[in-house]
Homo-oligomer: A and B are copies of this chain.
Amino acid sequence: MPDWPRGDAPSRVANIPTPAIVVDVAAMERNIQRMARFFASGPCRLRPHFKAHKTPEIARRQLAGGSCTGLTCATVSEAELVAEFCGDVLIANEPVGPGKGSRVAELARRANVTAAVDSVKGLEELDAAALKAGTRIGVLVDVNVGQNRCGVAPGDAAVRLAQQVLSARGTVLRGVMGYEGHVVGIPDRTDRDGRARRAMTDLAATARAIRDAGLPCEVVSAGGTGTYDITGRIEGITEVQAGSYVLMDSDYGRLDVPFEQAFWVLGTVISRPTPTRCVADCGHKATTKDHGHPLVRNVDGAEVTALNDEHATIGVPSDCRLDVGDRIYLRPSHTDPTINLHDVLYAIDGERVVDIWPIAARGYPEHRHG
C-alpha cells in the first residue's frame, strides 16, 4: 500500500473518500484471462489499448495474461510511460506537433516503437526526428476503413504512402492499421459482423496490395472490444487493439461480449430532499456522460436523471430507504474518459482495499512540472 497524503490509506471500501473509482480485481482478471484465451490459438494476437485505463499495473497484468504482441497507446505521453515496462509499443495515432517527433524518436532508442502515419507531412516529421536522433521509427500506414476520421483511402493511396515510408531513411515500414470505430458499438451482432468484415476486407486487401508492390507489410492492426472476435478471426489481421474489455462500461455492456463490469464510480448520498429523489457526490467530473448517464448498481429501480459537475441526481422508488451518508455504485457509460478524470484506482476484493493503483498517464503528463 503506498504512502497516503493524510493519515492511513483506506483499507476498507467504507473508508474511501468519494467520489472515487473501485476496481474488482477478480472480475478484471477474469476479463484478462477470457481475452487471452481467445487469442491463445493465434495466428492473430492481442495488443491491449492502454488509453482505456492509463494504469501501468493493469497493463502489466494484461501482458502477464499472455497472447499479447505488446501494447497500444493513443498519445506519446502514454507511450513514454508504457515503454518503461513494455518493449513493443504501438502509437495507433498520428504524432504531429511540437516535440512529438523527437519524443517518439527518443523512445525508439530504447523500445520497439511504431507510430501511425497518414500524410507526407506526418511522415516527414517522424523521419526528420529519427535521423536527428540517430534511430529509426516503425510506421504503420493508417487506412480509413469507414470511420471517416484519420487514414488514407484503402488501395492505391495506401500503397503510395507505404512506398514513401519505405524510402525514408528514418522510418521502417511495418504494415498497416485501420480502426473500424464506426462498427465496434453496433449492438446487433449480425449487423456488426457484416460491417466489420467489409471494413477488414478493405484493410486486408490493402495489405496484400502493398505486398504485391514488393513492400513489406508484416503488421495488420485493427479491432476493438466490440469486434475482437470478428476482426480477430479474419485472415490477414495480425493483431487486435481492444481496450475496454478489461474493465468494461454500460455502453459495451449492451453488446454480446463475454466480459464483466469490473469497475465502478463510488459515491456518497449527500442529499435526500424528497422520497423519490436522492443526490450523490459523483457528477460528470467523476463519471462522464458522453455515452449517456451511468447506471446505478446497488439500488433497485434507481436511475440517474441528471448529471452535473459535482452531483448525480437519482430518481428512486418512493419506498427506497437510501439515506444521507449511504454509498452509491455507478456503472460508467464510457470507460476511457471516466478513468481519465481520476488519479488512482482502488483495487478491491469485496469490501477490502487490496491496493491503490496510480493512473499514471492520466491527462497529458508532458505539461506537468515540478
**Interface of A toward B, CB cutoff 8 Å:** 2-6, 9-10, 14-20, 51, 74-75, 93-100, 118-119, 121-122, 125, 142, 144, 148-152, 181, 268-273, 277, 279, 281, 284-286, 288-290, 306, 308-311, 313, 323-325, 336-337, 340-344, 356, 363-370
Closest chain-B Cβ to A304's Cβ sits at a distance in Å of 12
Q: Are A343 and B368 in contact (CB under 8 A)?
A: yes
Q: Are B150 and A270 in contact (CB under 8 A)?
A: yes
Task: Give CA–CA (A152, B274) in the complex, Å.
Answer: 9
* Copies of this chain present: 2
Closest chain-B Cβ to A56's Cβ sits at a distance in Å of 15
Partner pick for A324 among B75, B119, B323, CB 8 A cutoff: B119
Query: Which residues on B sit within 8 Å (CB–CB) of A99?
Result: 15, 17
DSSP majority for the A interface? loop
CB-CB nearest in chain B for A324: B121
Q: Are B369 and A5 in contact (CB under 8 A)?
A: yes
Q: Are B325 and A121 in contact (CB under 8 A)?
A: yes
Pairs across A and B, CB under 8 Å, 6 listed: A51-B310, A122-B270, A142-B271, A149-B271, A151-B271, A284-B337
Task: Give CA–CA (A346, B3) in the complex, Å.
Answer: 31
Q: Are B271 and A3 in contact (CB under 8 A)?
A: no
Interface centre among A97, A99, A119 (most CB of B within 10 A): A97
Q: Are A98 and B17 in contact (CB under 8 A)?
A: yes
Q: Are A118 and B273 in contact (CB under 8 A)?
A: yes
Closest chain-B Cβ to A98's Cβ sits at a distance in Å of 5
Decide yes or no: A310 and B367 within 8 Å by CB, A100-B17, A290-B290 being known contacts: no
Query: Which residues on B sit within 8 Å (CB–CB) of A2?
Result: 369-370
